């Protein structure tokens, strides 16, 4: 499952959260040791009243010579009323993004004050370029940014989101900021759009304010890790509507994300599929003349559509030439071998 959220700063002054479609809002609270967003509390109280998921972030100015202690204290001083209500976040974009120890110290100080582990926000490039092992292993959540382009994305349409981020040090990321050009009904300007990988209770766990957990849902996925399956379509990400081009026709399931739109990961990263994409378990048998085979789709080798009844039974193979297979038993029609189960 994923949730949608935006992040706002003083640039979005006047935005009415009740008029835009979003599950949550992350608000800029402070920067360095001398700036507080004057609209932070207005946004926060709006979000709180509307029942939105909340986060507050601090823009680090570590390259200015400030210590992590001073910047953490400054952030805590101006956000202490939000403790227990929002995820604290470090926005890591200053010039010296390689100072991992500075970031780690800030996160540790804020964790003690908030009673929960903050997130850290950074680009895919920054995560890939420096050694974040200590931060990742300490359990601080990652909010990662990666945009395909700066073309307008309307009302959470992710068809142009592009490939998902690749990370080196985190096993997974809590959220992906996939666009800086989101336009929502109810607001004329552009917004940053992100998706959170979890439900509302998962968000609250990051705040250390989770509700009583629901009993786990049974795994409803039809296939399992290790299954070699036939495929009629494959997607670029777990939650995407955009298919890979060209598609592949079979592959091995290497991981399963049960709550996702496309839960099965194929080939450790080739792409993702759902139950509707899988036409069955791939057979390791070699097709030979005399064996029985069933068409998966009512389409001939030459692309001619056939009556759907041809997919209801198996027919004897009477001829094989490369990928072209002729089925007899009165059907006497050629099919592509990938369109047959046997």
Position 127 pLDDT exceeds 80 = yes
Element (H, E) at 31: strand 24-31
How many other CB atoms sit within 10 Å of the CB of residue 6?
24
Query: Predicted confidence band at 210 (pLDDT cuts at 50, 70, 90)?
Result: low
pLDDT digits (tens, 9 = 90+) for 282-341: 766 788 999 999 999 999 999 999 999 999 999 999 999 988 999 999 999 999 988 888
pTM for the predicted model, two decimal places: 0.63
pLDDT in tens, 70-108: 999 999 999 999 999 999 999 999 999 999 999 999 999
- Across 42-77, b (16+ Cβ under 10 Å) vs e yields ebbebbeeeebbbbbbbbbbbeeebebeebbebbbe
Which position has the token pair 């029985």?
Answer: 292
Q: Are 120 and 137 in contact (CB under 8 A)?
A: no
Which of 104, 3, 4, 86 has its CA nearest to residue 41? 86
Using an 8 Å Cβ cutoff, are 63 and 95 in contact? Answer: yes
Which tokens hold the place of 330? 């009165």
20 Cβ partners below 8 Å, 6+ apart? Answer: 6, 184, 185, 186, 187, 191
- 305: which DSSP letter? B
Which pLDDT score, from 0 to 100, does residue 294 have? Answer: 92
Higher-pLDDT residue of 338, 18: 18
Contact 180, 190 (CB under 8 A): yes
Report the 3 state secondary structure along 230-268.
EECCCECCCCCCCECCCCCCEEEEEEECCCCCCCEEECC
pLDDT (tens digit per residue) in 155-168: 999 999 999 999 99
Q: 226: alpha, beta or left, given left = phi > 0 and alpha = psi -120 to 50?
A: left
d(CA 139, CA 150): 32
Mean pLDDT of 271-290: 83
Name the token pair of 157. Answer: 């349409």
Distances in Å between the Cα of 117 and the Cα atoms of 109, 135, 150 are 10, 11, 32
From the centroid of its chain, how far is CA 293?
39
Report which of 279, 283, 301, 280 is spatially closest to residue 292, judged by C-alpha positions.
283
- d(CA 201, CA 196) in angstroms, rounded, equals 12
Residue 117 tokens, joined: 């582990």
Neighbours of 139 (CB within 10 A): 9
Question: Mean of the pLDDT values across residues 245-274?
Answer: 85
How confident is the model at residue 214, as a pLDDT?
A: 43
Instruction: Give helix 100-114 / helix 68-79 axis angle, nearest 10°.
Output: 30
């Amino acid at each position: 499952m994923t949730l949608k959220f935006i992040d706002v700063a003083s640039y979005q002054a006047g935005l009415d959260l009740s008029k835009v479609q979003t599950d949550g809002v992350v608000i800029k609270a402070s920067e360095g040791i001398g700036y507080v967003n004057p609209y932070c509390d207005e946004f926060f109280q709006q979000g709180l009243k509307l029942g939105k998921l909340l986060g507050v972030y601090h823009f680090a100015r570590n390259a200015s010579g400030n210590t992590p202690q001073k910047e953490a204290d400054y952030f805590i001083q101006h956000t202490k009323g939000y403790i227990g209500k929002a995820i604290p976040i470090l926005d890591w974009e200053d010039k010296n993004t390689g100072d991992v120890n500075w970031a780690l110290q800030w996160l540790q100080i804020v964790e003690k004050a908030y009673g929960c582990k903050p997130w850290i926000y950074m680009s895919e490039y920054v995560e890939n370029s420096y050694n974040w092992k200590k931060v990742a292993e300490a359990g601080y959540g990652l909010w990662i940014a990666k945009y395909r382009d700066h073309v307008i994305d309307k009302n959470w349409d992710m068809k142009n989101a592009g490939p998902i981020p690749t990370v080196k040090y985190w096993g997974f990321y809590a959220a992906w900021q996939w666009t800086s050009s989101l336009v929502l009904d109810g607001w004329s300007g552009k917004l940053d759009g992100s998706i959170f990988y979890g439900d509302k209770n998962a968000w609250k766990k990051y705040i250390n304010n989770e509700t009583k957990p629901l009993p786990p849902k049974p795994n409803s996925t039809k296939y399992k890790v290790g299954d070699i399956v036939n495929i009629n379509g494959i997607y670029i990400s777990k939650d995407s509507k955009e298919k890979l081009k060209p598609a592949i026709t079979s592959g091995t399931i290497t991981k399963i994300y049960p709550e996702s739109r496309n839960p099965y990961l194929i080939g450790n990263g080739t792409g993702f599929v759902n139950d509707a994409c899988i036409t069955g378990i791939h057979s390791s048998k070699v097709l030979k003349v005399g064996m029985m085979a069933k068409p998966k789709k009512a389409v001939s080798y030459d692309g001619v559509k056939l009556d759907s009844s041809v997919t209801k039974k198996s027919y004897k193979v009477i001829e094989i030439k490369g990928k072209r297979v002729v089925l007899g038993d009165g059907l006497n029609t050629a099919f592509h071998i990938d369109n047959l189960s046997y």
